Structure 1
């Protein structure tokens, strides 16, 4: 079966509201063996919605119309579908009574436009909305099933979970499994997978870049349940062995900051930060964790060259010759932090977050991991993204590197 998910609402198209409904429904449908072929978002426009339904009714078996079932003038999805199917809207007494009872219980006046939500398309299967007011509906014509679902996420998800699985009849099955890989980057992960040559006509392997890791998604489709399960398990074992050193264990719900605090406490070590590009983000992430006061001794936000020089002792010659974003400056920042004698672990970080670059290309970051005068190293990173993303990637990379260093002593 093929499906199209059509989400309706001007607020979605212009970016005022993030569309989470499509992703939620797509995942549920995929688990049921349905091919989600299209995601479409539309403004509240009668002709646009009608044209979209006409187009995709020729391409798919299932059409999900999400949103536009409310009481206002711009809620028109139900009216459009009724027009397309050449059916009338009729007042459903049960739904109308439900509206009246709800208004009495919540002590608000039921306005005339609220009554609109009790109208349904004739001969449709009504799906009671146990989380809101507008009911869902299911209709079928010429081999295509049409689903009307409310837009508010709490109502939408409740109805998807309660009804949709039982209303889809398909004898094909899809099995999926994910393996999350850290540090390598999506392009390298994808290249390594292709070298293994594990795909066949029933099974595909795809990669998706996430914030902290790359997701490897194994997807097998067919009608033989046992065969599909065996294929997925075989391939997942092969992939796990190939990426064993880089597996990101998402079953471990602890954040990188929590893990770092734990390790520092176990080893009875103290940590200090000198932050330029991250502007205190590292210290903020640590102080959100219970027990941070036992391990965090100092946090200096040295954003300006003057503060780097006055507080940490970075020489003016270094700043003038190499710039604030340089390995030399990162080293002297960390050395100055270490000279305060408060911590055994001293971390400095400086870089370009954008959107305008001053010295180096945007995303260039230098971090110095300073454990003693004879035990330190400087790492250079090149991150992509906007200002906030570069700052978060920098902080997360430093935390994960510290965890690895301390675990290896």
Structure 2
């Protein structure tokens, strides 16, 4: 079962707003067995609406539209669809009463434009909008369905969750769809793909593997489709067991979660604490960790030591080493980690020092040269990264890489598997 989404609004096309509706709708439709094969954003023009709709109906049996249902002259979707399906607009007394009461609640008097919100196509199926005044309209033609919803995300999501998704499941026969995301770190996409050639080649026909890379990590998403959800889940678990034997040290989660959340779970399980000493990442690691609720139970704090003065006076980095090796060096980053662990009185301390860019590099230490370190009671582990010329990317990758060092250390002490469905 395939569908297409059409979003209507000049504000999307000129970049005034970002179309978040389509991504959310596609995700929710997929959960009920409906694949979105195409997403199209168009202007508030009658010809564009009709042309896009006709093209979509040639390809699929379900089209979902958002936008153009407001009370102003540029909102023409309702009139356009009514004309296209050969219907007349009539005033719905129940909807008129609802619009009037809603406006009264805001202290707004009814006017001509507001009253037009109560007009509905006479032969369309009207789905209640309990979150706003614009109605949701369900049209059918030659066995195909077109649903028009408000473009306001709050209203669209409410209508979808309360009514539309349930109605679609009753109207169409849809298969079970199950996705599973495996989070990996410490290995690039191309190398990972090479390692998984045989495993991927032997996946059952009803399974599809997608590689979803981002700075510092790669998501592996297994997608399955069939009649039995239990069978699909069992098949996925069998493949995960095989995958774990190939890349046991690179998997950090069996759900779509960030690496700092996996680190947090292990720190909590083991009763350990964490602190950071950051130079080139400027507090970004602390931001990632503290952005999750409950982080105060394991995260004690951070020292953002941009200057050598702070490195020396607060983290107790030796001035001789700063002068001899420079701030971007193995010697200095290891002392930063040790100093943070002692200063913050934590079990683990992470440190970064490097040249994030876009300038500041030298022939010996070009932009993207970054040292990371982790200190614990067992000593210090450090690693040199040779990254990019893009500052934001360097900061994020450095943060994820040093969190990866900690994750590997924590996994040595804990059998970590969260692969149940």
**Structures share fold, TM-score greater than 0.5:** yes
Does the residue aligned with 1:3 lie in a helix, a strand or coil?
A: strand
Q: What residue is the counterpart of 1:98 in the other structure?
A: 98
Give, in whole Å, the separation in 2 of the partners of 1:406 and 1:362. 31
8 Å CA contact 1:68, 1:150 repeated in 2: yes
Q: What residue is the counterpart of 1:234 in the other structure?
A: 235
Question: Residue by residue, what CA displacement relative to the aligned partner does 1:299-319 show, whole Å, maximum 9, x if unpaired?
Answer: 432213454456556577866
Q: What residue is the counterpart of 2:151 in the other structure?
A: 151
8 Å CA contact 2:180, 2:254 repeated in 1: no
Q: What does 1:276-287 align with in structure 2 at a 5 Å threshold?
A: 276-284=279-287
Q: What residue is the counterpart of 1:180 in the other structure?
A: 182
TM-score if structure 2 supplies the norm length? Answer: 0.79
Q: Shift in Å at residue 367 of structure 1?
A: 0.8
8 Å CA contact 1:4, 1:37 repeated in 2: yes
User: Which consecutive unaligned segments of at least 5 residues does structure 1 have?
Assistant: none
Give, in whole Å, the separation in 1 of the partners of 2:207 and 2:154. 34
TM-score if structure 1 supplies the norm length? Answer: 0.81
Q: What residue is the counterpart of 1:395 in the other structure?
A: 399
> CA 1:275–1:310 in 2, change beyond 3 Å: closer, same or farther?
same
> CA 1:384–1:102 in 2, change beyond 3 Å: closer, same or farther?
farther
Q: What does 1:226-265 align with in structure 2 at a 5 Å threshold?
A: 226=228, 230=231, 233-243=234-244, 245=248, 246-250=251-255, 255-256=261-262, 258-259=264-265, 262=268
Deviates more, 1:100-109 or 1:187-196: 187-196
Give, in whole Å, the separation in 2 of the partners of 1:357 and 1:89. 66
Deviates more, 1:130-139 or 1:386-395: 386-395
Count of equivalent residues: 401
> CA 1:83–1:367 in 2, change beyond 3 Å: closer, same or farther?
same
Give, in whole Å, the separation in 2 of the partners of 1:59 and 1:238. 34
Give, in whole Å, the separation in 1 of the partners of 2:73 and 2:18. 22
Does the residue aligned with 2:70 lie in a helix, a strand or coil?
A: coil
| Aligned counterpart in structure 1 of residue 330 of structure 2, from 327, 332, 343 | 327
Q: What does 1:1-400 align with in structure 2 at a 5 Å threshold?
A: 1-161=1-161, 162-167=163-168, 169-183=171-185, 184-196=187-199, 197-199=201-203, 201-209=205-213, 214-221=218-225, 225-226=227-228, 230=231, 233-243=234-244, 245=248, 246-250=251-255, 255-256=261-262, 258-259=264-265, 262=268, 266=271, 272-284=275-287, 292=296, 296=300, 299-305=302-308, 307-308=310-311, 312=315, 324-334=327-337, 345-356=348-359, 358-359=361-362, 363-371=368-376, 375-381=379-385, 387-388=391-392, 390-400=394-404
> CA 1:280–1:156 in 2, change beyond 3 Å: closer, same or farther?
same
Question: Residue by residue, what CA displacement relative to the aligned partner does 1:129-149 show, whole Å, maximum 9, x if unpaired?
Answer: 111111111112244321101
Q: Shift in Å at residue 156 of structure 1?
A: 0.8
| Aligned counterpart in structure 2 of residue 404 of structure 1, from 404, 408, 411 | 408
> CA 1:377–1:90 in 2, change beyond 3 Å: closer, same or farther?
same
8 Å CA contact 1:186, 1:209 repeated in 2: yes
RMSD of the alignment, in Å? 3.8
Give, in whole Å, the separation in 1 of the partners of 2:54 and 2:290. 55
> CA 1:134–1:293 in 2, change beyond 3 Å: closer, same or farther?
closer
> CA 1:113–1:408 in 2, change beyond 3 Å: closer, same or farther?
same
